[in-house]
A and B are shown apart, each in its own frame.
Chain A
Amino acid sequence: MWVYEKKLQYPVRIKNPNPKMAKYIITQYGGPDGELAASLRYLSQRYHMPIPEAKGVLNDIGTEELAHFEIVGAMVYQLMKGACPEEIKMADMGTYYADHDNAVYPSTGTGVPFTAAYIQSKGDPIADLHEDLAAEQKARATYENLIKLADDPDVIDPLRFLREREIVHFQRFGEVLQKVREYMESKKYF
C-alpha cells in the first residue's frame, strides 16, 4: 500500500518555460536510466531478495524513486507549460507536441516510449543488485549531462538534488550486495 503525500520531495519552481530543456530532461521521466525504470526495477526485484535488509532497501529506494519520478514530471510540466507552439518548434520539440501537446508523457527526448525492456528482474539477487548499482551510476551520469546542458538555476537546483540521491542509493546497494554475499556464503549457496 502506498499513501500519497501532497508535496514534492524537493521543490520545483521553474519561472521560465524552456521546451528544449524539457526535451533533454524527459528521458529521466520515461527513458532507460530514468526514475520510472528505477522504481519499477527495484519494486519488482524486491520480492525475491533473500534477507530483510535487501527487501527494505529495494522497497524504500523503489518508493523514493517514485517521488523522483514526480519531481522530474513537475520539471517537464513547468518547462512546457508556458511555451507557445512557435517556441516548441524552435526547440525541435514539434514532433513531441504533435503527439502530446504540452502534456507529460513517459518517453525519451527522441520520442521512444517507456518500455519495461529497460529493466530486468532476474531472480538472482547478486545479478539484480549489480544491475541496481549500474543503474544508479547511469542515472548519476545522466543528471551530470543534464546539469551541463542547463543554464537556469531553477532547473539546475533540483537536478543537483536528484544526482546526489543516486550516489546515496549506490552506497546503500553496495552495502546490501555485501550482506547478501555474506548470507549466501553462510548458506553455502551456489
Chain B
Amino acid sequence: MNHTHADNERRELLEQIRAIEFMTIDLNLYLNTHPNDRRALNEYNYYTRQLQALRKEYEMRYGPLTNFGYSLSQYPWAWINEPWPWEEDHYMEGC
C-alpha cells in the first residue's frame, strides 16, 4: 500500500475534480426542472469554469480524462495508461 508522492498528488487533484463535478451534476439535474433559476444557473456556470480549468491541469500532468476527441494525447497514445478507474488505489495481491 505504498503510494508515491506523485501518485498522491494525482489522486488529490482527481478528488478536487470529483467534488466540483458533483456540483455540476447536481445543479444540472436541478436546472432541468428549474430552468429559470438564475442563481442556480450562475452557480452551474461558476463550477463549470472551475471544472474546465481543473480538468485541463489534470490532463496536462497525468494524461487524458476523456476520449473520442475530447482530450489531446501525448506520444505514445496515453488513453490506455493505467490505472483504470475501477483500479484506483487498488493494489491488493491476488490470492
Contacts and interface: CB of A to CB of B under 8 A. Distances in A.
Interface of A: 3-15, 17, 53, 56-57, 60-61, 64, 70, 73-74, 77-78, 81-85, 87, 168-169, 172, 175-176, 179
A175 B33 contact: yes
Nearest to B17: A7
Main secondary structure of the interface of A (DSSP, over half): helix
A47 to B, nearest CB: 17
A181 B18 CA distance: 35
Interface of B: 1, 14-15, 17-18, 21-22, 25-26, 28-30, 32-35, 64-68, 70, 79, 84-86, 88-90, 92-95
Contact of B94 (A9, A53, A60, A82): A82
Contacts of A175: 33-34
B70 A7 contact: no
29 contacts: A3-B68, A4-B67, A4-B68, A5-B66, A6-B65, A6-B84, A6-B85, A7-B65, A7-B85, A8-B18, A9-B21, A9-B22, A9-B25, A11-B15, A11-B89, A13-B89, A15-B92, A53-B32, A56-B32, A57-B33, A60-B28, A64-B29, A70-B85, A74-B88, A78-B86, A78-B90, A83-B95, A172-B30, A176-B33
Given A6-B66, A57-B33, A78-B90, 13 more contacts: A6-B79, A6-B85, A7-B17, A11-B89, A12-B86, A56-B32, A77-B86, A81-B94, A82-B95, A83-B95, A85-B95, A168-B26, A172-B33
Contacts of A64: 25, 29
B8 to A, nearest CB: 13
